Structure 1
Amino acid sequence: MENHCIIRHLAETFSGVLTIDLLRYLVGAGGVFLIVNLALAARLYTRKIRPDTPPLSQIRREILVSLRTVLVFTLTGTLIALGAEAGIIPIYTEIGSYGWTYLVFSTVVLIVAHDAWFYWSHRMLHYPPLFRRFHRLHHRSYNPTPFTSYSFDLGEAVTNAIYLPLILLVVPAHPVAILIFVTHMMLRNAIGHSGYELFPANRHGKPLFGWMTTVTHHDLHHAHSGYNLGLYFSWWDRVMGTEHPDYHTEFRKVAHATP
């Protein structure tokens, strides 16, 4: 009877996390696609980075592959939930336990640390022997779409998934901080693959928020894979010399255009 209860609890936890992760991908990637690539495409046509449109066959492949990524994320999410129940992963439920200042601080830490994790793991995956096995599938989407955001080889999906349980072992977090983190991750990822420059330019035609990666920034990575390896912020690429030399020129072409 006890084993039956444990199995049922595991199944309920897994199904709950799966529902959340699947909805996050479908609403995040699908929502950005519907709004940016369909509903606003005519108004944003001067901000379109590539002249051609990705074929439907590519989008179908991306969605199917992304379902596997969702399963990988669900497995790690289930481990996080079970780890929290066991007291191994310090997720707290009362904001007053740490205070509002810590809630903001921990959210920022989750995002900034993830950017560092992504840059260095992404750079590792571009090492030729690893690229062929773990990262080539993502770059089959030479002209990306929002659905590219989860289109990973299995090894890359695991590399991305293990970040959250690892960081939560050392950074106690409230569910609100985790929710903000995963929502930000999904939306920035989907927007970065949308193919339309949505970030504003300053009066000189450079990114208004120069410390953030723009859509052009990541789109150049899909066109020239050795450059622009960052996810949210541009500072690692600048410090390590991996920012594309024509980034600001390419950004200016689309960000300064007026529909």
Structure 2
Amino acid sequence: MDDTLYGKRDKRGNWTPNKKLQRSPIFVWPVQPVKFLRWFLGYPGYLWPWNAGYFAISLIVWLYLTPSLETMREFHAQWMSLILARNAALTVALYGGFHLILYVMRRQQTTFKYNAKWPDSDNQTFMFGNQNAENIFWTMCSAVPIWTAVEAVTWWLYANGYLPYVDFADHPVYFVALLILVPAWRELHFYLIHRLIHVGPLYHWVHKLHHNNVNPGPWSGLSMHPVEHFLYFTGVIIHFVVPSHPLHSMFQLMHAGLSPAKSHVGFDKMVVDGDHMIDTDNYYHYLHHKYFEVNYGEKRIPLDEWFGTFHDGSSESDEVMARRIKAKKYVRGGSA
């Protein structure tokens, strides 16, 4: 597979796609119904393959790998341990699977890899001097337990009737519409808490740990400070006030827990076989790790465009970013 057909490499071997990042058709005016339907139903698009995949996992987990609500009316170590083990197994399978194929076996070497370097294995910035080791530690020892704790509280609230509940049989259209909106809410919530933890002391105390991964890999996705993990998984609280089914909350939590592997994978495409590829759709967030003060959200909702922090990967965006940073430094210097 020749990745130069889809992008270009600089002198250091770093790869960038030819296509600039663009708005999702839902936020383009005048309305473009054909493009919208292609984006919404097509491949790759809003539903396929990633959101549909996360939902399929959520449905299977809810039906077969989650105790009954009756069981979860009281907090007990037995059922919470089962959820912890299940979340840990899913994390190892997905994050470890991406890492094994792309970073251990290196099946496509650096084809479609944004940064030609591999994760640091001798860098004292990271715990144990090893980027992957630190990433795995924070993922398995902080992210998974906090994810599980938030999930356990959510099931306990549902089981005891403390949350507004809606059933598919009674409101099928509303039920499906809410499922479709879960990824959009996830994106909005992520943007809000992400901007918050980029502010002053919060960045240095909390978010800097995640940004040590300038060259992210799959395990970097949930490598965060425990405070950030808690804030990140609180996206589920939307279902504490909006009438929902536990499946909506499961989708919310599974999406939050599993999607960072793909969004930090470091490769634009995964080569499956010959000319067959899977688009990882993570260039938008990669640019955030590369440039720090851009692309705080995701590309489906153009919040970064609206607030002046959008970078599409072009040299023009580099110039805009440089002017913005220079202006910010000037203001700070003038106010000192």
Partner amino acid for 1:22?
A
Give the alignment of 1:50-69 within 5 angstroms: 50-56=115-121, 57-66=130-139, 67-69=141-143
Counterpart of 1:26 in structure 2 is: 92
Counterpart of 2:108 in structure 1 is: 43
2:158 is matched with which residue: 81, 84, 108?
Answer: 84
Cα displacement string for residues 62-115 of structure 1 (whole angstroms, at most 9, x for unaligned residues): 1111121111111111100110111112455x531321x223211122221121
Distance (whole Å) between structure 2 residues aligned to residue 137 and residue 150 of structure 1: 11
Question: Are 1:73 and 2:73 counterparts?
Answer: no
What's the C-alpha RMSD, in Å, of the aligned pairs? 2.8
Kept after mapping to 2: 8 A contact 1:28/1:186:
no
**Where does structure 2 lack aligned partners over 5 or more consecutive residues?**
1-70, 122-129, 271-278, 317-336
Q: Give how far 1:234 is off.
A: 5.0
Q: Which has more strand, going by share of residues?
A: 2
2:286 is matched with which residue: 219, 222, 243?
Answer: 219
2:168 is matched with which residue: 95, 98, 102?
Answer: 95
Distance (whole Å) between structure 2 residues aligned to residue 172 and residue 111 of structure 1: 17
Cα displacement string for residues 201-244 of structure 1 (whole angstroms, at most 9, x for unaligned residues): xxxxxxxx9xxx93221111111111111146351111111112
Counterpart of 1:120 in structure 2 is: 192
Distance change in 2, residues 1:110/1:196 (3 Å): same
Under a length normalisation based on structure 1, what TM-score does the superposition of the two structures give? 0.78
Distance (whole Å) between structure 2 residues aligned to residue 248 and residue 136 of structure 1: 26
Distance change in 2, residues 1:198/1:183 (3 Å): farther
Give the alignment of 1:134-145 within 5 angstroms: 134-145=206-217
Higher RCO by CA contacts (8 Å cutoff, separation 6 or greater): 1
Distance (whole Å) between structure 2 residues aligned to residue 118 and residue 183 of structure 1: 14
Give the alignment of 1:143-182 within 5 angstroms: 143-164=215-236, 166-182=237-253
Indicate the SS of the match to 1:20: helix
Distance change in 2, residues 1:84/1:106 (3 Å): same
Q: Give how far 1:127 is off.
A: 0.7
**Where does structure 1 lack aligned partners over 5 or more consecutive residues?**
200-208, 251-259
Distance (whole Å) between structure 1 residues aligned to residue 163 and residue 109 of structure 2: 44
* Structure 1 runs, 4 residues or longer, greater than 6 Å off: 5-8
Q: Which has more helix, going by share of residues?
A: 1
Distance change in 2, residues 1:156/1:97 (3 Å): same
